[in-house]
């Protein structure tokens, strides 16, 4: 029989280190009744997604109101990808943050992270373009990567048609969305033709250089929240993670295997961006980790690698917070802080000449 999942059953070194607000979130989550499945024949992936969507609904209530929100579908890397554009102000043209949601590559959508998107838009004054990339297990690496990079290439070429300044873009992502944001940027830099092709722009003379260099140059900053960046073992992986955050060692291994299908063991900067070539330029990065997250050392490692090559970055480790705390703005001031700081970081770099 599985151990009972209660707040008191969380290991003491984690439980006692939580801030009061984070502890209140965990208690709130434990009081919720999961949807469960509709019987033995229910598809486990669909049941997991339905429960995740139901759980996130509470956290997406409220938040900033947008002047306008547009929903559209883009053909990217052979898939029809839903895209949502939030506009916080009435302006003919806005810079834009391309938001890539987390969820272990297998759950999440435009709605599960909608409040996060709206806060980033309101606090930055920029539009937020959310990309609902294809999920695992239906799609595996590098499909989501190509879709995300393709979205950036598309708006760098066609943004003006949607009221977006094609020269002032940024990426933001949480968890799986953070590594997708970082690796999409590396793909735009090192293999831009792949992104241009994913966007369906290979034969478009208006794009200019078929290599698509302008798309990479349009990315002014990255906002990376508690991502996995390639570490397969670390002190924080040994100290933290379990049923309370869905990030036990088995959870992490299963997530990577389902998405990468063995490629997680390859030496590729698109799988392990800590090994990328940072002697070449990359945009400034705002890196946020959570102290009690098994992935916290990934954020520290990325900061260290970037610093070694003199790249502009800012690291913030939120004390007493768990993975996924970006969702909990209804109860956690820390959530509101790191979203505001990230939005301000992006806005400042939109203004850089």
Q: Are 294 and 236 in contact (CB under 8 A)?
A: yes
pLDDT in tens, 60-110: 999 999 999 999 999 999 999 999 999 999 999 999 999 999 999 999 999
Residue 323 known to be catalytic: yes
Show the 3-state SS of the chain.
CCCCCCHHHCCHHHHCCCCHHHHHHHHHHHHCCCCCCCCCCCCHHHHHHHHHHHHHHHHCCCCCCCCEEEEEEEEECCEEEEEEEEECCCCCCEEEEEEECCCCCCCCCCCCCHHHHHHHHHHHCCEEEEECCCCCCCCCCCHHHHHHHHHHHHHHHHHHHHCEEEEEEEEEEECHHHHHHHHHHHHHHHCHHHHHHHCCCCCCHHHCCCCCHHHHHHEEEEEEECCCCCCCCCHHHHHCCCCCCCCCHHHHHHHHHHHHCCHHHCCCCCCCHHHCCCCCCCCCEEEEEECCCCCHHHHHHHHHHHHHCCCCEEEEEECCCCCCHHHCCCCCHHHHHHHHHHHHHHHHHHCCC
CA dihedral (53, 58, 59, 64) positive or negative: positive
Is 134 labeled as catalytic in the residue annotation?
A: no
For 129-143, the pLDDT digits (tens) are 999 999 999 999 999
| Residues in the chain, overall count | 353
Distance CA(115)–CA(121), nearest Å, equals 10
129 contacts 151 by C-beta, under 8 angstroms: yes
User: Minimal CA–CA distance to 130: which of 139, 118, 145?
Assistant: 118
Instruction: Assess whether 175 carries a catalytic annotation.
Output: yes
Sort 171 into a burial class: Cβ within 10 Å, 0-12 / 13-18 / 19+.
buried
pLDDT tens column, 208-264: 554 456 899 999 999 999 999 999 999 999 999 999 999 999 999 999 999 999 888
Report the distance separating Cα 113 and Cα 274, nearest Å: 26
In this prediction, what percent of the chain has a pLDDT beyond 70? 95
Is 2's pLDDT higher than 60?
no
pLDDT tens track for 167-207: 999 999 999 999 999 999 999 999 999 999 999 998 776 66
Q: What is the pTM of this model?
A: 0.96
Of 180, 287, 279, 273, the C-alpha closest to 231 is 273
144 with 133: CB under 8 angstroms?
Answer: yes
> Considering 101, 162, 259, 323, which one is annotated as catalytic?
323
Out of 293, 297, 298, 303, pick the active-site residue.
293
Domain interval for residue 235:
1-351
Catalytic residue selected from 175, 218, 299, 324? 175
Q: What total of structural domains would you count in the chain?
A: 1
CATH number for the domain spanning 152: value is 3.40.50.1820
What are the pLDDT digits (tens) for 335-346? 999 999 999 999
pLDDT of residue 205: 67
**Token pair of 18 as six digits:** 């939580």
Nearest to 128 by CA among 88, 163, 178: 88
8 Å CB contact between 234 and 187: no
What are the tens digits of pLDDT across the range 281-337? 999 999 999 999 999 999 999 999 999 999 999 999 999 999 999 999 999 999 999
Write down the pLDDT at residue 352. 82
* Contact in structure between 122 and 67 (CB atoms under 8 Å): no
Question: What's residue 266's pLDDT?
Answer: 81
Contact 283, 164 (CB under 8 A): no
Cα distance between residue 293 and residue 291, in whole Å: 6
């Amino acid at each position: 029989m599985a151990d009972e999942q209660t707040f008191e059953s969380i290991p003491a070194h984690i439980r006692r280190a939580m801030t009061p607000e984070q502890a209140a979130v965990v208690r709130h989550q434990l009081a919720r009744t999961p949807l469960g499945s509709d019987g033995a024949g229910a598809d486990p992936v669909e049941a997991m997604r339905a429960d995740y969507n139901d759980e996130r609904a509470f956290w997406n209530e409220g938040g900033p109101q947008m002047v306008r929100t547009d929903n559209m579908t883009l053909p990217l890397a052979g898939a029809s990808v839903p895209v949502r554009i939030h506009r916080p102000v009435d302006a003919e043209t806005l810079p834009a943050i391309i938001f890539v949601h987390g969820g272990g590559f297998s759950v999440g959508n435009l709605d599960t992270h909608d409040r996060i998107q709206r806060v980033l838009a309101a606090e930055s004054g920029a539009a937020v373009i959310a990309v609902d990339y294809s999920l695992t297990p239906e799609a595996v690496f590098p499909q989501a990567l190509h879709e995300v990079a393709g979205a950036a290439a598309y708006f760098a070429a066609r943004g003006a048609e949607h009221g977006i300044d094609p020269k002032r873009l940024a990426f933001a992502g949480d968890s799986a969305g953070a590594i997708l944001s970082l690796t999409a940027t590396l793909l735009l830099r090192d293999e831009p033709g792949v992104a241009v092709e994913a966007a369906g722009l290979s034969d478009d003379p208006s794009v200019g250089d078929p290599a698509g260099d302008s798309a990479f140059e349009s990315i002014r900053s990255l906002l990376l929240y508690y991502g996995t960046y390639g570490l397969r073992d670390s002190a924080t992986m040994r100290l933290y993670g379990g049923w309370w955050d869905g990030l036990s060692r088995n959870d992490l291994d299963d997530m990577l295997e389902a998405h990468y299908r063995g490629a997680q063991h390859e030496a590729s900067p698109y799988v392990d961006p800590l090994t990328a070539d940072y002697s070449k330029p990359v945009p400034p990065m705002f890196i946020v980790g959570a102290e009690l997250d098994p992935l916290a050392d990934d954020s520290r490692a990325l900061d260290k690698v970037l610093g070694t090559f003199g790249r502009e970055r800012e690291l913030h480790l939120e004390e007493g917070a768990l993975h996924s705390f970006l969702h909990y703005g209804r109860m956690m001031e820390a959530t509101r802080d790191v979203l505001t700081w990230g939005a301000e970081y992006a806005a400042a770099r939109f203004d850089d000449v």
